[in-house]
Structure 1
Amino acid sequence: MLLNLFGSGKESMSAVDTAWLRMDRPTNLMVITGIMFFEGHMDIARLRGVLESRLLKYQRFKQRVVRTGTNAAWESDPDFDIDNHLHRVALPGDAGKPELEAFVNEHISTPLDFGKPLWQFHLVENYQGGSALVARIHHCIGDGIALIQVLLSLTDKEADGDSAPAPKKLKFQAGEREPDDPFMRLYKPVAKMYAGVLKSYGKVLGTSYGLMMNPGKIAEYTQTGLAISQGLAKLAAMPADPRTKFKGKLSTAKRIAWSESLPLPEVKHVGKALGCSINDVLLSCVAGALRAYLVEKGQNVDGLDIRASVPVNLRPESKLDKLGNYFGLVFLPLPIGVANPIERVYEVKRRMEEIKGGYDAIITLGLLSVVGSLPNIVEQPAIEYFSTKSTAVMTNVPGPRDPIYMAGNKVSDLQFWVPQSGEIGMGVSILSYNDRVNFGVMTDKKLVAEPARIIERFGEEFEKLVLATLLSVVDCPPDPELAELHLAVLRMQSEAGKHA
């Protein structure tokens, strides 16, 4: 429990969570938005029961934010009513994807009510013969890893699972990922290093006793401090990202789109055939899609790199079942200027290898803690400054490998969108579920009015990479992975024929 600065009944907000709270602005709301799609019609009474027993056991969802000067705190909402947060709606017209996109677009640009707990669910009762749950939760409550796990704690592995007692403790799955899962190659080394740095600096900053008793540790501390100092200098000297169709003055209107999902096994086959991770393959597809959009808009992309701010999970073992924000950021230059899909995936791999051993994520988490402790007049220029160094926020969250159920209804798919800070105008979200990979894009309407023009290219770029991979190894001996890729091409051609 943090030191209580607000008196009885209030809990002080952490400095990092306060930083995310104060990033909220009309042009970029700090709200994470997600959708659960259901095969059948959701019973709202049963859904309400699940929320009351499983969501509201976390006090955060019954607390509102109070602010005084530079500080912020959580206090119980004396008038809390779940009906202020759970709404039922019906889509107009054909009640299909365009209508749901329009509904989300309308709400994604609308601030949450700060007089109440900062979350809101809308049950869409008539989506494509089934239903959908649109969830909006403010970033100060938790980061993407925490919030996706909270939502998953509302689900079960069987249709009647909600009749059993609610789990006593939330179990996070961030560390239970396959070695080649998205972002795992980045997460593990940095997370381990972060834990070591915290331990070292806890001794240095807390007392000199550790050094007196262990003088041999001085070199270790000095080396760590030097590395962080060099990282800070490098970050400060990083130039602003180039101006493209994705970067400019923002409006107060956002637009979202989501893709048809990619089969995760086929993404794995491509990665294995090329000696790359799933993450390398997916990020290469993102870079290719952004490149294709810029080319369509007449922009010169020769030699172009644009940076993506990539959240890296730094959640300590002691915080695995806690809400709040425990992540730093790394700046990944996407090789937009590389046209060849195979060259591009290897370039992504090379750049990821360069990043994963650095201290960038630790430094940015520390900076967020510092600015969250300072007056807002100091934080805002700092956020503006660092937001010039990126064009997009890009994040990946692992979902369940097997189908799940919520309030007796099978979840057919999952989707989410990451918010952007400062003057960043685009967010790219990747989410895996049930052996599929989904992409979501959020853009500023003034910069990219139709993000669907970007999102539809992810699948196209993956197909190009599959074909290029097959052609590049045409003279090699038969390989099971390549055989699977060949079958994947046949399946994609068959699907294309059906829709022709």
Structure 2
Amino acid sequence: MRDHRVNPVDAVWLSMDGPDNLMVIESLMFLDGPVDRARLEHVLRTRLLELFPVFSRRPLPGRGKWGRPRWRDVGELDLSRHLREVRLPAPGGDAELQAYVGTCLATPLPRDRPLWDIHLIEGLAEGSAIYVRLHHALADGIALTQVLFSLTDLSDEGDRDGSFHPDGRHHLLSEVVQAARRVAPEVPQLLRPARIRAGFRTGARLGFSGVGVMKKLLFTRNPESPVSGVAGPEKRAVWSEPMQLQRIKDIAAHADATVNDVLVSALAGALARYQVEHGGRAVDLPTMIPVNLRPLNVPLPRELGNRFALVLLNLPSGRGEPLARLAETKRRMDVIKASPEPAITFTLIQAIGWLGNRLNRPLVTFFAGKVAGVTTNVPGPREPRYLAGTRISGLLGWVPGSGQQALGTCIFTYAGTVRIGFKTDTAVIADPERILAAFHAEIETLDAAFVVARLVSTGD
């Protein structure tokens, strides 16, 4: 079997699995009906295994003290080792599905085979679900989301009518990575060599932005709060029913903000409410947000890998009034968009990757300890999609936390709806449904505030 070098950045995530936080990206698809396993297996062979070789490779440890890990081809991959059929107990609602997902969140992916699993879940009161687990070493979460959407079609016969073409798949998926532009609109251009050299020259003359970003990264601290503590192995996942995206757009329009600003502000408000409910004082909470660094107009490379940056956003949970919190969220996001922070954190991740396991683990843990968790906001396709002939009704996905991080937040828009999901460490946050309820309450409060403002402005 042939061996392949593991990219240094991918090697960081390959080595970072720990008993308290696994480096596994979790995704959940809700479907209107059962999935035809034979059709799904055909889709996986033609759109996953044939196009992205890393899904047919297993990891091997490095040779000697300083040896880098390797990927090894497994030859003919046995899909039965990666596809698991599960039936939930009655009544098959969200509670049963959340309990099942929770039992998997602390289970490592076996290293004697490629690092991915798909669970076909039946027994739901309505439809079915597919739960996908992908190791972070394969690629970053944004790229893996694109990979998952490349398995889907715009019609229920799209997997059999010959319309799929691998070179054109990016045209269907560009919406999936638009979240990057909300945080750093020009990140891919910033990373071109000429732009980097120009940036260093400008930084040498001015220094202010770069120094400010480094101070932020080095000196931000995760404050003591009801969502911070010592992580353990047990996790929970909860999520909302789909909400109408137009409602969020209306709030954003009245606030002269983006949809992302509104949703992140609602998250900040939810965490403020949660802190107070649990006897704390509402304080600002830092979170990391992944940023895509791949060009949006070209297909994913066959080798995939990790190419992303992280930006640090201090959620304004300490602001006491929802409208003030939304305004401050917008202001802080606008500052990040205008800063070199994504380019700087990308360079740091690259440098950490080259240091080897002995040094990269403590460095990743150091930076992970500065935030309460990771927040992703992924805009999916605007039109409904189909997997192996079955319509997808909703999606969620969580990237892994590191170190002692206890809160993972996923915001996913799809086909005119938005869902939010929380993945929490039960040793720190045993009741994530309270954060979920507080998020909905914050959206209601924002909506009501702008209804009143409209009535006042129109004199009704």
Question: Structure 1-normalised TM-score?
Answer: 0.85
Q: Does residue 1:45 correspond to 2:38, yes or no?
A: yes
Q: Does residue 1:310 correspond to 2:308, yes or no?
A: no
* Deviation by residue 1:387-420 (Cα, 9 ceiling, x = unmatched): 1211120011121101111111111111112210
Q: 1:199 aligns with which of 194, 197, 203?
A: 194
Confirm or deny: 8 A CA contact 1:63 1:76 kept in the other structure: yes
Confirm or deny: 8 A CA contact 2:189 2:195 kept in the other structure: no
Q: 2:60 aligns with which of 42, 62, 66?
A: 66
* Deviation by residue 1:333-376 (Cα, 9 ceiling, x = unmatched): 11111121111100101111111122222222211211211121
Confirm or deny: 8 A CA contact 2:174 2:297 kept in the other structure: no
Confirm or deny: 8 A CA contact 2:293 2:307 kept in the other structure: yes
Instruction: Tell me how far apart the structure 2 counterparts of residues 124 and 446 of structure 1 sit (CA, whole Å).
Output: 27
Q: 1:459 aligns with which of 426, 440, 454?
A: 440
- Report the equivalent of 1:106: 103
- Report the equivalent of 1:363: 344
Give the SS at the match of 1:71: coil
The percent of aligned pairs where both chains have the same amino acid is 36
Give the SS at the match of 1:415: strand
Where does 1:105-144 land on structure 2 (aligned, <5 Å)?
105-144=102-141
- Aligned-pair CA distance for 1:422: 1.9
Question: Residue type of the partner of 1:14?
Answer: N
CA gap 1:230/1:70 in 2 versus in 1, 3 angstroms: farther
- Report the equivalent of 1:207: none
Where does 1:1-80 land on structure 2 (aligned, <5 Å)?
9-57=2-50, 58-68=52-62, 69-78=66-75, 80=77
Give the SS at the match of 1:474: helix
CA gap 1:318/1:60 in 2 versus in 1, 3 angstroms: farther
Where does 1:45-444 land on structure 2 (aligned, <5 Å)?
45-57=38-50, 58-68=52-62, 69-78=66-75, 80-165=77-162, 166-169=164-167, 171-172=169-170, 176-177=174-175, 184-195=181-192, 198-201=193-196, 221-224=200-203, 226=207, 230-231=211-212, 233-235=214-216, 237-301=218-282, 304-316=283-295, 320-322=299-301, 323-444=304-425
- Aligned-pair CA distance for 1:50: 1.5
Give the SS at the match of 1:156: coil
CA gap 1:182/1:269 in 2 versus in 1, 3 angstroms: farther
Confirm or deny: 8 A CA contact 1:231 1:360 kept in the other structure: no
Question: Residue type of the partner of 1:305?
Answer: D
Q: Which runs of 5+ in 1 are unaligned?
A: 1-7, 205-216, 484-500
Aligned CA-pair RMSD? 2.4
Instruction: Tell me how far apart the structure 2 counterparts of residues 433 and 395 of structure 1 sit (CA, whole Å).
Output: 14
Instruction: Tell me how far apart the structure 1 counterparts of residues 298 and 113 of structure 2 sit (CA, whole Å).
Output: 26
Instruction: Tell me how far apart the structure 2 counterparts of residues 178 and 468 of structure 1 sit (CA, whole Å).
Output: 31
Question: Residue type of the partner of 1:85?
Answer: H
Instruction: Tell me how far apart the structure 2 counterparts of residues 350 and 175 of structure 1 sit (CA, whole Å).
Output: 29
Question: Residue type of the partner of 1:457?
Answer: A
Give the SS at the match of 1:355: helix
Q: Which runs of 5+ in 2 are unaligned?
A: none
Instruction: Tell me how far apart the structure 2 counterparts of residues 15 and 174 of structure 1 sit (CA, whole Å).
Output: 30
Question: Residue type of the partner of 2:190?
Answer: M
Task: Tell me which structure has the larger Cα radius of gyration.
Answer: 1
> How many correspondences in the alignment?
451
Where does 1:480-499 land on structure 2 (aligned, <5 Å)?
none
Give the SS at the match of 1:242: coil
Instruction: Tell me how far apart the structure 2 counterparts of residues 296 and 224 of structure 1 sit (CA, whole Å).
Output: 44
Instruction: Tell me how far apart the structure 1 counterparts of residues 201 and 138 of structure 2 sit (CA, whole Å).
Output: 35
Instruction: Tell me how far apart the structure 1 counterparts of residues 114 and 370 of structure 2 sit (CA, whole Å).
Output: 33
Confirm or deny: 8 A CA contact 1:71 1:373 kept in the other structure: no
* Deviation by residue 1:176-233 (Cα, 9 ceiling, x = unmatched): 4599x756332313343233xx3345xx6xxxxxxxxxxxx7xx64214546852564
Confirm or deny: 8 A CA contact 1:289 1:455 kept in the other structure: yes
Question: Residue type of the partner of 2:152?
Answer: T
Give the SS at the match of 1:467: helix
Instruction: Tell me how far apart the structure 2 counterparts of residues 174 and 251 of structure 1 sit (CA, whole Å).
Output: 39
Give the SS at the match of 2:455: coil
Confirm or deny: 8 A CA contact 2:176 2:380 kept in the other structure: no
CA gap 1:428/1:236 in 2 versus in 1, 3 angstroms: closer
Tell me whether 372-381 or 118-127 shows the greater mean CA deviation.
372-381
Instruction: Tell me how far apart the structure 1 counterparts of residues 6 and 28 of structure 2 sit (CA, whole Å).
Output: 28
* Deviation by residue 1:76-127 (Cα, 9 ceiling, x = unmatched): 1146311100111111121221111111111111000111100000101222
Confirm or deny: 8 A CA contact 1:70 1:374 kept in the other structure: no
- Aligned-pair CA distance for 1:472: 2.8
